[in-house]
Structure 1
Amino acid sequence: MNDGETPDNGKPAKSLRDEFVDRRPTINDVARLTGVSKKTVSRVINKSPAVKENTREEILRVMHEIGYAPDPQARGLAFRRSFLIGMIYDNPNPQYVVNMQQGLLDGMRSTGFELVVHPCDRASPTFLEDVRNFVERQKLYGVILTPSVSEDERVPPILRQIGCEFIRIASVSLDEPEHMIVSHDHLGGAAAGRHLAELGHTRIGFISGRESFRSSHERRRGLERALGEAGLTLDDDLVVQGAYTFESGYDCARDLLQRPVRPTAIFAANDEMAAGVLQAARSLDIRVPDQLSVVGYDNFQLAERLWPRLTTVHTPTREIGRRASTKLVNPQSAAEIEQQDPRALPSLVVRDTTAPPT
């Protein structure tokens, strides 16, 4: 029934405006009557491009019908924000940074938002001040936090305090779902462990990444789970601390491979360290995969270009980035993507560096 029509009881139909005879409508009323979030209404008020056209039209229609007018002072505060999205990272791997940037830009395409990239040092005493200054100086609409910045529980309260939207990318869920994209690294670690166990390896070395990165712990957790399911255990004596760099992979591998009883397989927590393992094996005249199997993690371009070509765990970094920026600037589209394919999961890519032990 259209507004103004008369129902069967002979009384005029109520319009939406009738509800607000005795009070002023609020932004919460607009959200309730249109069935969207307050945040989406705010985006329409501030002319953000990150709202579907049919949703925008419905919100504007309801605003007009109930006589809602935004508070000019509050709107002025909102306009101090720009159409800039920040990416904050503390990651030693340049390929990760490039892939993540590409994914973020994929999700921001045709939204009017632009990307600003900010490297930082989480170990610096001025780290938190640097994050705050970056957000406030650029007047950012929102930020994408990548590991290990995303794992620092001191950062989200700062962003909430200054009114900046944010998404955290991490290997496990650390926040409310609307603020998280999870990479499920334990599943990748399990895939690597399962592959090596199925090949018949029982003495498996693990080169972990930086201690401050949750991903390293999650990849080990998955490895241990898969080995446990195969009736095996990860020997603590065969676990060495790397730093997600080629050099650390090389040094750790030489340590493992010069033991009296060396491992028959090594799982390195990223491809850079796995490349170091291959170099260490070559320097010790150990043939891969005949005498040593090697598995990496990430599946960056490096994995395909190494010789032998590296067996590794593929992390859909670009897709994770796309989902993160989409979730930040267009939550409705992100929800539809997650309903169709709820998780961007790691998967094993078998190439030439793994074989049964001899």
Structure 2
Amino acid sequence: MDNKVKSTINDVAREAGVSKRTVSRVINGSPSVGQATRERIDAVIKELNFQPDKQARGLASKKSYLLGLIYDNPDALYIDQVQRGCLTVCTNLGYELVVHPCHWQEDDFVEDCLNFISRSNVDGVLILPPVSESKKLASALRANNHPYVRIASADLDDHANIVISNEREAMQDIAEHLVSLGHKDIAMISGPSPFCSSRERLEGFTDSLKKLNIDLPAHRVIEGQNSYESGLEIAKNIFSGTDLPTAIFANNDEMAAGVIRVASDLGIKIPEQVSLAGFDDNIFASRIIPSLTTLRRPVQEISVVATKKLIQAINPQNKAVEQTTVIKPYLITRESTAKCIKED
């Protein structure tokens, strides 16, 4: 067949030697088609470069094949990684992604999200932190029978509706790393206290240090806003004193980058005088000088799993999706941490 002519579902059925209905079932992820038949149809679809008509497909199944992504996060790098993960799944399974930024602390944000779902006619929504921490939004989605999956740092929902980045447990890795280097006087630049992720990281870090017989006193914990600018201001405050900590953990890489900038301006050497670690492993973490020791949050992997879970919620008959619930960030050691040289 001349592939320059747009192939139809009838062409696929004829070439695969099956009915049009069988091809339709494969396209829509029905489990009622045998594996061998499914593979033969998939091969023909690829060979003919067949693209299902989304409008006709949606009319037949009463679905739009649109997924919504709801977020309120100023970190463009994080949002980019989330979308890359989501689109990997959407492309393979025939869905499109519609994004909706919101302001989760506004009084009408739940109504705004519900209006977005209605207006866009999405089949379900993925919800990113900190929006995903809202019990009110989750309750409204359930009440309106809108499929959803939350990405969060704690177990806030039924496992079918959540993918957890286990940040509390991950903090043990960074605590053990710093203590293994001989650090005892450690400071933390925490994230905004209303965020669940900030509390999980702070409590996880404090508890992990305590198990290692290291205290994290209140004066060594300063709350930041997860922004580069707040990292700058807090670093100026820390470095203005005479009693410097030997190590600093910043709640995210943005604030850690602010610490590196201030240290450079003041002639304070990292890691020779102060070790520094962050969280996220953003793209610049390996490119700044010194390169940053950090906890890598596998954002794309989390997004892939969450998108598959959402499609499972939309299509309960399709069992060919992952059921992973918890994914743990992991330690990446680089140049910004070193052995403590300060004597007791």
What is the TM-score when the length of structure 1 is the normalising length? 0.77
Would you say how many aligned residue pairs link Structure 1 and Structure 2?
292
Structure 1 position 188, deviation (Å): 2.2
Counterpart residue number, 2:334: 351
1:110 matched to 2:125: no
1:51 deviates by 2.6
Contact 1:84 1:114 in 2 (8 A): yes
Paired residues of 2:173 and 2:330 also in contact (CA < 8 A): yes
User: 1:199/1:253 Cα in 2 relative to 1: closer, same or farther (>3 Å)?
Assistant: same
How big is the shift at 1:330?
3.4
Structure number with greater Rg is 1
Out of 21, 24, 29, which is 1:51 matched to?
Answer: 29
Which residue number in structure 1 is paired with residue 212 of structure 2?
A: 230
Asked if the contact 1:140/1:164 (under 8 Å) is kept, the reply is no
Distance 2:127 2:25 in 1: 25
- Output the amino acid matched with 2:280: D
Q: Is residue 110–residue 137 contact of structure 2 (8 Å, CA) maintained in 1?
A: yes
Q: What is the root-mean-square deviation in Å for CA atoms of aligned residues? A: 2.3
Residue 55 and residue 237 in structure 1: after superposition, are their counterparts in 2 closer, same or farther (change >3 A)? farther
Per the TM alignment, residue 268 of structure 1 is displaced from its structure 2 partner at its CA by: 0.4
SS at match of 2:232: helix
1:272 is aligned to: 254
Kindly state the Cα deviation for residue 300 of structure 1 after the two structures are TM-superposed. Answer: 1.3
1:159 to 141, 160, 163: 141
Cα deviations by residue, 1:97-123 (Å, 9 ceiling, x for unpaired): 000111111222321211011111112
**Partner-residue secondary structure (3-state), 1:273:** helix
Among 183, 197, 212, the alignment partner of 2:165 is 183
Contact 1:193 1:226 in 2 (8 A): yes
**What pairs up with 1:75-154 in 2 under 5 angstroms?**
79=62, 81-154=63-136
Residue 49 of structure 2 is matched in structure 1 by none
**Counterpart of 2:245 in 1: which secondary structure?**
coil
Classify the secondary structure of the residue corresponding to 1:294. strand
SS at match of 1:109: helix
- 1-structure distance, mates of 2:261, 2:145: 48
The 8 Å contact of residues 163 and 327 in structure 2, kept in 1 or not, is answered as no
Per-residue Cα deviation, 1:78-137 (whole angstroms, up to 9, x for no partner): 82x521101101112111000011111122232121101111111222211211110110
Asked if the contact 2:25/2:33 (under 8 Å) is kept, the reply is: no
Give the percent of matched residue pairs that are identical in Structure 1 and Structure 2: 35
- Asked if 1:201 corresponds to 2:176, the answer is no
**Residues of 1 paired with 2:286 and 2:231: CA distance?**
18
Change (3 A) 1:47 1:209: farther
Q: 1:216 to 1:50 in 2, by over 3 A?
A: farther
* Alpha-carbon displacement from aligned partner over 1:264-290 (angstroms, at most 9, x marks no partner): 111001110110010111122100000
Change (3 A) 1:289 1:155: same
State TM-score, norm by structure 2.
Answer: 0.80
Q: Is the 8 A contact 1:289 1:352 kept in 2?
A: yes
* Structure 1 residue ranges, 4+ long, deviating more than 6 angstroms after superposition: none
Q: 1:136 to 1:47 in 2, by over 3 A?
A: farther
Tell me what 1:333 maps to: 320
